[in-house]
Amino acid sequence: MFFGSDNTSGVHPKIMEALVRANDGYAAPYAGDRWTAELTERLRDLFQAPDALVYPMVSGTGTNAALLAAMTPPWGIIYCQKTAHIEVDERNSVPFYSGGAKLKLLTGVGSRLEPAELREAVIRDSGEDIHASPPAAVSLTNLTEFGELYRPTDIAALAEAARLPLHLDGARFANAMAASGATPWEMTRELSALSLGATKTGAMGAEAAVLFDPAYQEAFESQRMRGGHNLSKARYISAQILAWLEGDLWLELATQANAMGARLAQGLAEIGGELAYTVEGNLVFARLPRKLHVKAKAKGAVYHLWGPNTALSGDPEEPLLARFVASWSTTVADVDALLAAFTD
């Protein structure tokens, strides 16, 4: 009954096998190896982006920060939704890396940005006043922190509204792709940069910074170096992502996680849970009476109570919000055991 995070699951066997194979012999350091060269071509083909630049990374936070720092001057504004990971969970890393760039938080709808609000914010900040910070970039998260989905049409509408370079935090990009049914090109054609995450979907620790706009190459490579993310043994990251992509394993694993999220959402609704956000992937946010949380936790269920009220002591009928995350290795039996822990 482990639903605390998709970071808690193990490594898929095919990815572990790829790491063992990559460990044989010698290879050039600092991404000069054949695995990274192959990964670059594989991702260029996947995204139909022949000029894209690909950099193996190990940290989603470092990838986001280095990319966004390359996309904005220290005096610029980066627009994001108020619940974005770069705002809530990355310890001010983007302003730190960029030397001062400002995150401007927008309310949006649910956990997503909304085009009209974004357009108004950009227009408001676009004056000639030297005292003010100018618009520089927009950062999206797909799936969002609350499991909601941007479809390609949504991203296109935001690109049209902002007319600024777009960055996408893709820590759960595979889940978004599996949920959307879109092609990789459709999902990324408006982007200047993508933080492509495999860690949450079966890898040991593997991210890729993808620059669709090569104009940011020098700035990104400088930020990557200064931040300590120029990996000497990049082959181990590239080998993981190659195995992840092989035979569409990444979509298979994401589809499994999404299906278990849907099953859990349905089951929670059937026992009286109130879903707080639309469930479009592997994250489920639901309110349940405190007494049910006490019962499930006592039986060993692992998940997070969410928001300002997380105390298990208090009014037993008071509904408490919780986050449940299914992973690639979550099974039907796991979901049903969690639901039983609330009701039996």
Query: How do residues 3-31 score in pLDDT, each as one tens digit?
Result: 999 999 999 999 999 999 999 999 999 99
Sheet with 274-275, side-by-side order of all strands: 274-275, 283-289, 319-325, 304-305
Residue 97 amino acid letter: Y
Q: Are 34 and 41 in contact (CB under 8 A)?
A: no
Query: How do residues 243-300 score in pLDDT, each as one tens digit?
Result: 999 999 999 999 999 999 999 999 999 999 999 999 999 999 999 999 999 999 999 9
In sequence order, the 6+-apart residues with CB closer than 8 A to the CB of 159 are 166, 190
Q: Are 90 and 65 in contact (CB under 8 A)?
A: yes
The answer to whether the Cα torsion of 115, 262, 47, 22 is positive or negative is positive
Query: How do residues 153-174 score in pLDDT, each as one tens digit?
Result: 999 999 999 999 999 999 999 9
What was the pLDDT predicted at 291?
A: 97
What was the pLDDT predicted at 64?
A: 98
The domain 14-247 is placed in CATH, from the list 3.40.640.10, 3.30.465.10, 3.40.190.290, 3.40.50.300, at: 3.40.640.10
Q: Side-chain half-sphere of 56: how many Cα atoms within 13 Å?
A: 27
Q: Which CATH architecture has domain 250-343?
A: Alpha-Beta Complex (3.90)
Domain locations in the chain as residue ranges: 14-247, 250-343
The pTM (predicted TM-score) of the whole model is: 0.97
Q: What secondary structure letter does DSSP report for 96?
A: H
Percent of the chain at pLDDT exceeding 90: 99
- Provide DSSP, 35-81: HHHHHHHHHHHHHT-TT-EEEEES-HHHHHHHHHHHHS-TT-EEEEE
Q: Are 211 and 168 in contact (CB under 8 A)?
A: no
Estimate to the nearest angstrom the gap between the alpha carbon of 99 and the chain centroid: 24
